[in-house]
Chains A and B, each alone.
Chain A
């Protein structure tokens, strides 16, 4: 296989990381919502934790992007 083609396929495969990030963000917001419905008075206090969890989960997906960029531009 051509090196250029292999690079493109590898960079595309790195986008699979987004599946995990999507599941993670969905779990965080879903669980926050269901917990907030059960106990609305405690919801406001946990909002910073929600944002923290969202940012941490989103970042794992972006590590995939970094891998794709390394494959495309660093080799």
Chain B
């Protein structure tokens, strides 16, 4: 029996090894759980929109709730000009949410607890939003780095700080999600290890604790998906509505 709390994050190969040049494209347990999350989203949306009842069934209610939740979030943070980007934000939100939630099931694998997964998501968001900003405003998009009403003496310093903060967005966005998921799951495993090592006599206290922690982790799983999506909306707002 393994009591190492880091053991759960191990990525291993399922099926044959596929190598293209120097890139290893084998099907791993990480890919399997990404596939499971995606299929779960598709199944939920399909079943939820199959029979459009006036009095919604439970699954239709969940689907409608997730739609209105994301639509309201976009409208509140990025304004009505961000409406065309609804599918993008909705996909990101649902993917991160389902990956986090599938990871909460016992013996499953949390895809988002690996920095490379979240970093890939964040970098694509960052590059995409930068391209959107340049398409929408042209070269004037660089005005984003020059805040209004700053004294001329401070301006060179402020511009450098703004550029650094802009470039660090993908890092902070990805590390926030990855660190939250990894820390939470490590903590759950550590408390689970306490239950085993204290045995039948003293193990009840950490058991209760770990039940409470699972509740907290489900909250964090939702919250981090929400924060990931809302920060994407905020960055989109910067790109769409320059200085407003």
In the assembled complex, B227 has its CB within 8 A of some CB on chain A: yes
A23 to B75, CA, bound (A): 32
The answer to the question of A59 belonging to the interface, with a C-beta cut-off of 8 Å to chain B, is yes
What residues make up the interface of A, taking CB atoms closer than 8 Å to B?
A: 48, 51-52, 54-56, 58-59, 62-63, 65-66
Chain A residue nearest to B230 in the complex (CB): A52
CB distance from A16 to the nearest CB of B (A): 16
A54 touches B223 (CB 8 A): yes
Are A63 and B223 interface neighbours, CB within 8 A? no
Complex interface: chain B residues within 8 A of A51 (CB): 223, 226-227
CB atoms of B227 and A52 under 8 A apart: yes
Contact of A63 among B175, B224, B230 (CB under 8 A): B175
Which residues of chain B come closer than 8 Å to A63, judged between CB atoms? 175, 179
A31 to B17 Cα, complex, angstroms: 54
A55 touches B183 (CB 8 A): no
A residues in contact with B230, CB < 8 Å? 48, 52
Q: How far is the CB of A32 from chain B (nearest CB, A)?
A: 15
Chain B 163-180 per-residue mask, 1 if CB under 8 angstroms from chain A, else 0: 000000000100110011
Instruction: Name B54-101 residues within 8 Å CB distance of A.
Output: 73, 76
Residue B176 contacts which of A48, A54, A62 (CB distance < 8 angstroms)? A62
Most A C-beta atoms less than 10 A away, residue of B76, B176, B223: B176
Using C-beta atoms within 8 Å of the partner chain, give the interface range for chain B: 10 to 19
Residues of chain A lying within 8 A (CB to CB) of residue B76: 48
6 smallest CB-CB distances across A and B, nearest first, come from A62-B179, A59-B176, A55-B227, A66-B179, A55-B223, A65-B183
Complex contact A65–B227 (CB within 8 A) = no
| A-chain residues with CB within 8 Å of residue B180 when the two chains form the complex | 55, 58-59, 62
12 further A-B pairs in the complex, CB-CB below 8 A; given A48-B73, A59-B172, A59-B179: A48-B230, A51-B223, A55-B176, A55-B226, A55-B227, A62-B179, A62-B180, A62-B183, A63-B175, A65-B179, A66-B175, A66-B179
Asked if B224 contacts A55 (CB within 8 A), the reply is: yes
Whole-angstrom CA separation of A52 from B182 in the bound complex: 19
* A66 to B176 CA separation, bound complex (whole angstroms): 10
Inter-chain contacts of B176 with A (CB < 8 A): 55-56, 59, 62
Nearest Cβ on chain B to A56's Cβ, whole angstroms = 7
Residues of B within 8 A of A65 (CB): 179, 182-183
Residues of A within 8 A of B226 (CB): 51-52, 55
The interface bits of chain B over 221-244 (1 if a CB of A lies within 8 angstroms of the residue's CB, else 0) are 001101100100000000000000
* Chain A contacts for B73, CB-based, 8 A: 48
CB distance from A54 to the nearest CB of B (A): 7
Give A55 to B179 CA distance when docked, in angstroms.
Answer: 12
